Amino acid sequence: MKTHFDINQYIREGAINGRIYTEPDVFTLEMNKIFEKTWVYVAHESEVANQGDYKTTVIGQHPVIVSRGADDGEYYVMFNRCRHRAASVCQDEKGNANFFRCQYHGWTYTNSGDLVGAPFQDGYGEEFDRCKMGLIRVPRIASYRGFIFASLSEDGPSLEEHLGLARPYLDMIADQGIELTAGAQKYAYHANWKFQVENTIDPYHLSFVHKTFFDIQDKKKGVKTNFARMHKQEKVSDLGNGHSLYELADDLGIGALPFNLIIFPNLSFVGSQVRVIKPVSVDYTEVALYPMMLKDATLEENAARLRKHEGFYGPASFGTPDDLEVAFDRVREGLRSGGEEWLIISRGMNREEVNENGVLSGNSSDEVSVRAIYKKWRELVTI
């Protein structure tokens, strides 16, 4: 990695350099300074609802296990790495187990991480202390309204401080009584992780990338969507700490929530889904979409939510495939070309409004959300 990182080569007022998406050194810096320092979303409590439940995921590039203790019912987040020779001890994405057993040499751990078995332990001598050889737990774990976050940093802002002005919107989501019991829809693309974060709140592209979808919707409704009026009625807001909000004026037929929400760096809420972004490398990203089911809804009502989700976000839908092609693949291809390196993110800077809480807002075609992301990005990578 570069020994000196000049932030001014990558970001300036109203613009970012395209190399922010393509340089391996920048990606490494992001993993070290963002994903290993701040709070990262890892699970919803409904995914580990019972004692002994677990799921595997990642924090940046670190494989981890999120479990609910079989004995105490507490939540744990542990590195998925045997203390002996580093083999992963849990291979399944989710399940229920009292123990995790390394298949390499048989070391066995409780689902809260304590080492309970090391075959032929006498070979290590009397100094071997099994109590000190459990799976390593991440330094910090906290939950807010059912959403579990973990931090690889031993100190820093609390989770509530990190969430800040995004908390009321998480409250609204949690108050619906959601559970992530429908499984996950997954896709991957050969480009940078920030593409997906940015695209989550980018109403500017709707009438272009998703024109076919809205043409069909208009035909069904008998009314043509007026995007110019919609953008003036709706707003996008910078909630601070990299989080941002898109408040919808009308039901566009793509989801249940009246807003899209980004919780920086890896969590978003769109329609009726929880969207989790997993950076793999500078040019490869995995994404998981978890449809939000309602605890008190009927089977028919939840099925309708799933069908609506599939209609715009599914693999044969009108939304996600278009974004993968236009917003990710074509941008990646364009970045390989020569010419001007600086990319514009200044739309609406001249008409931002600030409320009494210091929240910046603009109309929904403005790039307020992108600027919110890179304001926090700049702060973190230069610490």
Amino acid identity of 366? D
Each residue of 244-255: pLDDT tens digit? 999 998 766 666
Residue 13 domain flag: no
Q: What is the dihedral of CA 163, 164, 168, 170, to 10 degrees?
A: 0
For residue 275, the enclosing domain spans 165-381
Which amino acid, one-letter code, is at 365?
S
Q: What single DSSP character describes residue 90? A: -
Q: What is the mean pLDDT of residues 77-98?
A: 97
CATH value at residue 106: 2.102.10.10
What pLDDT does 256 receive? 81
Q: Are residues 213 and 249 in the same domain?
A: yes
pLDDT value at position 92? 97
Residue 334 and residue 223 in one domain = yes
Indicate whether 208 belongs to any domain: yes
| 49 shares its domain with 183 | no
Looking at 115, 133, 156, the residue that finishes a domain is 156
- Residue 121: what pLDDT? 85
Q: Residue 89's CB: how many other CB atoms inside 10 A? A: 25
Mean pLDDT of the chain, nearest integer: 94
Q: What is the CATH number of the domain that holds 319?
A: 3.90.380.10
Using the 3D structure, point to which of 139, 156, 173 is the last residue of a domain: 156
Domain annotation covers residue 15: no
If one counts the domains in the chain, the total is 2
- Tens-digit pLDDT profile for residues 27-74: 999 999 999 999 999 999 999 999 999 999 999 999 999 999 999 999
Whether residues 143 and 184 share a domain: the answer is: no
Task: Say yes or no: 96 and 171 in one domain.
Answer: no
Report the pLDDT value the prediction gives residue 126, as an integer from 0 to 100.
83
Number of H helices, E strands in the chain: 11, 24
pLDDT score for 71? 92
Residue 238: per-residue pLDDT: 98
Amino acid at 153: S
Euclidean distance between CA atoms 253 and 214, whole angstroms: 9
Residue 1: pLDDT above 70? no
Ramachandran bin of 293, using left for φ above 0, alpha for ψ from -120 to 50, beta for the remaining angles:
beta
